[in-house]
Structure 1
Amino acid sequence: MTDLSLDGLRFAAKRLHRGYQAREPWAVERLRQHPPGKPPEALGRADFLHVIAQEHGFASWPKLKLAAETLGLDRATAQQQLKIALFHGQNARTEALLERFPDLADGLFGLQCALYQREAVAAALARKPELAVARLGPRSAILHLCFSKWIHARPDLEADMLAVAELLLDHGADVNDGYPHQPGDDHLLSALYGAIGHANNMVLGRWLLDHGADPNDGESLYHATELGHHDGLRMLLAAGADPKGTNALFRAMDFNDHGAVRLLLDHGARVDDYNAAPVGGEAPVVIPALHQVARRGCDGAMARLVLEAGADPALRWKGVTAYEMAVVFGSDAVAQAIRDAGGATSISPETEPLVAAVEGRDGPFIDPAKLPEAFANLLREMVHMADRLSQMRALVARGLPYDQPAGPERITPVQAAGWSGLPDVLAWLLSLKPDLSHVNAYGGTLLSTILHGSENNPGRKEGDYIACLRLVLEAGVALPEAALRGAGRADVSAFLQDWAKAHPGQVV
């Protein structure tokens, strides 16, 4: 383990520098996750110190050094860990940090708000009222409050949480405040999205709406479909949220959620908003509803629901009909619903090799260059459906690429399987020898993508993330110390700690 002193971290930076110069895989991987933004030949000592700082939750080495000199590195690192734990809902980690440092949030107004420390917030505002509207890092105080998931560990603090909200409002906080997801982004993530879509905090969401929060913030309605219940969705729709143009309808289809789709349709969502093309013509960029149903593994009832709502079974999107998409994705019930509705059932020559493979018929080898655009990332889009593993095997056996990064996120099929917590699919993909060092556009490796999925995938309760972690560790991926420190689930953390003790040479 790294020596958590400034000298120890300086030595770790030197070791990282030497490893990177030697192109050691563990060092190359770490710089991929924290890219310095310079060509390799231009990297100097400061760049590797910067990587070390980022791995410990600090924006830069000078900020880490200042915190270490003023607070002590142990406490400074714990404060950074607390910020991350509260935001991501790593409540067991939050509790452990507070048990170790009961006064860890003292003097940090944003953390005091996120922990619902009513008396401390009131005292701080009495001394310095402008704290209610100040930026405390990228977020204001009300955003620290709304994006905190602490309520799920401490529901007994509900009254204190609402009291903190009232204190902030009384001192000028804006219930419609937001912050950019990325620096320079014009679109803001609102306080309402933080409470409902991010934190699944319905009590605070209701308080925000009652105090004038705008339900049409471009995020809340969409993410309310991901919660596994309809409370937030109903709350937002009752407050006047307009589903049109939000993609909330499609997101509800991702979960085959009939109730959510009906709610959205009843409140003005229209499937033909996305089908603004002549019958039989090519659809716009946004995927039509029936194609979405076909590619997301929905059932026949969902297909009939969107057909009754006006979905056009003759519409083509990126070169294929919804029927072709249903057949290729193995969505037999959707294909049957389209046949029953009188939709086109012909298969184009470009799609035929895929259909032959999934149906187990003899057919030509798949030429990826000749596939319709709709199937450009086919395997990546199928891997979340573990029951389609036989079709995936058949497609790859006929020539479908199995390790292709998809879309602007640059996520590979093996990473998508790990995110979904599907060990059977993951084991098959690992047997094909994919690139285990690939880093996606989020800076995620295979290991970190599995960890992120274990805490953030809406369907994580059905996933077996420990089995997935075991598979990739057995395959030889490195186990970063940052992963050991940062795992937020108690069972996952315990597994990684046990693995690190049994395989110390794998820890980097």
Structure 2
Amino acid sequence: MPLTLETLRRSAKRLRAAYEAGDSATIARVTAVDPRPGQPLRHADFLHIVAREAGFSSWPAAKFAEESIGMDRAQKRHRLRQAVYFGQHWIVERLLAEDLAPSEDFALAIVLYDREAVMRRLADDPGAAVRMLGPRRPILHLAFSRHFQAAPEKRADMLAIAAALRAQGADVNDAWDKAPGQRLSALYATIGHARNLPLAEWLLTQGADPNDGESLYHACEMGHAEGVRLLLANGADPAGTNAVLRALDFNAHDMVAALLAAGASLAEPGRSPALHHAARRGCDGRMAEMLMQAGAEPAQLHEGVSAHAYARVYGARAVADAIEVRATVPALTEAEALMAGAAEGAVPSGRFLDPGKLPPGLRNIIRDIAHLPDSAGHITRLAGVGVEYDRPDGMGVTAVQVAGWAGQAAPLAALLALKPDLGRVNAHGGTLLGAILHGAQEGETGDHLACAELALRAGVALPRWALEGAGDAELTAFLRAWAVAHPGQVVD
């Protein structure tokens, strides 16, 4: 009988049944592959095992092998371009094993760093360096390519292609109008999408503008301390970028120190003061002390709330302690004291607050802590005293979407238990499942597979695009297995 996905699925079901029945031979068979050591196995794990036994690297690889049978060369090339853009390295590897002649496709030659093919094309047609290739020009295809993460040994080829495009007129400040009001520069593409600092450095040496409104902020968001220093060294101005507050989100001392040394403000108009933000984000005492040494005022009020009250209410005990060492702090209000009790695990029964009377910053607390791995109990206690748990921010993002983006399963489970609106679409076009998949794609370090399973079990729809758009092979395998087991949940 030929080996098909259906026969592999049936094998996976039999394997799981035997494993859960305690069959010793099956347990040994599973242990030999052990896709999730020390963790409970899911259906996707048994699919992974039978795929490995059938000679595939993973279940997505097995599924893609069958799906690609019906694709012609042009379709496979298109899928390869998508995989490079999204960083789906397992699909790139699989397709490159086929006879696709990627060097004949100029866009593919660029994103895969095929120096010889690019040089040959430019010698024959110099104008190709600035001609549109689909939605972007060649230098933007190069900048958005995530292939560097899988093939760092091609650094010299990548930079040689960049130089060749530049020599033929490519603009290092070229930008892609991805959506109305969303103009993404080549420099942003390297730092905020592809995590490609060598190409970012090359662009800056060639005159790329470090003040493009995106790159410095996203360097902080991606955790690129080296990228932040690179941008600052090349003239990036932190004023108005929100970079300090984004670095505080990660308690990143080195990034904050670099930004402050470059003249970043501790209190930009329309934004929280840095010390308040450090309290809200649960930074440590060292960060609070660094900010106060740089001039942050512990007595300053923001929206009627002191930094110390923020620290107590948000459970940032280390920040509160650091402030108490330096300043005399006012007593907490009744509502602040109730919320501080929730942060510390001590909430008197039968006491509630009126959320409509809270300052705006405190009304958003559940959304603000949803990304923290240990916030589940805090969330439940705050909701128990009356704090809003499904209040969107200015872009329509809710706490449940924040937890999903960060891949934090425990806070997500706590929020799902409160029955939030799972059909909400934020201003970015994202749903709960979309936020989970986007967070996984952008390198958030939580357990996005567990979050996806929680969301799907709660009844969210599974869009068909997600079966192709998840960059992580294990997450892709899980979603595809879920689609097979729950076809009615799949939507176009």
TM-score normalised by L of structure 2? 0.79
Map of 2:411 onto structure 1:
425
Share of identical aligned residues, percent? 50
- In the TM superposition, residue 445 of structure 1 has moved relative to its aligned partner by 2.0
Measured after TM superposition, the shift of residue 189 of structure 1 is: 2.4
Residue 126 of structure 1: which of 109, 123, 126 is its match?
Answer: 123
Q: Is the 8 A contact 1:93 1:488 kept in 2?
A: no
| Inter-CA distance 505–417: structure 2 relative to 1 (3 Å threshold) | same
Which segment drifts farther, 362-371 or 346-355?
Answer: 346-355
Which of 244, 247, 257 pairs up with 1:262?
257
Q: Match for residue 138 of structure 2?
A: 141
Equivalent of residue 488 in structure 1, options 471, 477, 480: 471
Unpaired runs of at least 5, structure 1: 1-71, 275-283
The answer to whether the aligner puts 1:305 opposite 2:290 as a matched pair is yes
Q: Within the alignment, does 1:114 sit opposite 2:111 as a pair? A: yes
Q: Measure the CA separation in 1 of the matches of 2:302 and 2:226.
A: 33
Alpha carbons 1:386, 1:424 under 8 Å: kept: yes
Shift of 1:375: 2.1
Normalised TM-score (structure 1): 0.76
2:353 corresponds to? 366
Match of 1:285 among 270, 273, 277: 270
Which letter does structure 2 place at the counterpart of 1:230? A
Following the alignment from structure 1 to structure 2, what is the Cα–Cα distance between the partners of residues 326 and 178?
40
Q: Shift of residue 164 of structure 1?
A: 0.9
The Cα of 1:161 is off from its aligned counterpart by 0.9
> Is 1:319–1:374's contact at 8 Å kept on the other side of the alignment?
no
In structure 2, do the counterparts of structure 1 residues 153 and 321 end up closer, same or farther at CA, with 3 Å as the change threshold? same
For each residue in 1:393-418, what CA deviation from the matched residue of structure 2 results, as whole angstroms up to 9, or x when unmatched?
1110111222232221x122222111
Deviation at 1:302, TM superposition (A): 0.5
Task: Give yes or no for contact 1:225–1:233 (8 Å, CA) kept in 2.
Answer: yes
Q: Which moved more, 1:295-304 or 1:172-181?
A: 172-181
Contact 1:110 1:140 survives alignment (8 Å)? no
Select the residue among 467, 486, 490 that pairs with 1:503: 486
What's the CA shift for 1:464? 1.3
User: What residue in structure 2 maps to residue 66 of structure 1?
Assistant: none
Counterpart of 1:479 (choices 453, 462, 468) is 462
- 1:397 maps onto 2:406 in alignment: no
Deviation at 1:209, TM superposition (A): 2.1
Identify unmatched segments of 5+ residues in structure 2.
1-69
CA-to-partner distance for each residue in 1:250-307, whole Å, 9 max, x for gaps? Answer: 2211110111111222232242x53xxxxxxxxx411101011011110111001000
Please report how far the alpha carbon of residue 112 of structure 1 lies from its aligned counterpart in structure 2 after TM superposition: 2.8
> Equivalent residue of 1:139, what SS?
coil
What letter corresponds to residue 369 of structure 2 in structure 1? M
Per-residue Cα deviation, 1:442-479 (whole angstroms, up to 9, x for no partner): 2222222211111214xx23x11221122222223333
Following the alignment from structure 1 to structure 2, what is the Cα–Cα distance between the partners of residues 80 and 311?
A: 52
Q: Of 173, 187, 193, which residue of structure 2 is paired with 1:192?
A: 187
Deviations 1:147-170 (A, max 9, x none): 211111112222221121111011
> Counterpart in 1 of 2:168?
171
Equivalent residue number for residue 450 of structure 1: 436
Give me the CA root mean square deviation: 2.4
Amino acid at match of 1:93: I
CA distance in 2, matches of 1:79, 1:106: 10
The alignment partner of 2:141 has SS state of helix
Amino acid at match of 2:448: Y
Q: State the number of aligned residues.
A: 420
CA deviations on 1:204-227 (whole Å, 9 max, x unpaired) are 122222222233333222222234
Taking the aligned partners of 1:75 and 1:436, their CA distance within structure 2 comes to 40
Shift of 1:343: 5.0
The answer to whether the 8 Å contact 1:222/1:248 transfers is yes
Cα deviations across residues 19-68 of structure 1 (Å, max 9, x unaligned)? xxxxxxxxxxxxxxxxxxxxxxxxxxxxxxxxxxxxxxxxxxxxxxxxxx
**Structure-1 separation of matches of 2:192 and 2:462:** 31
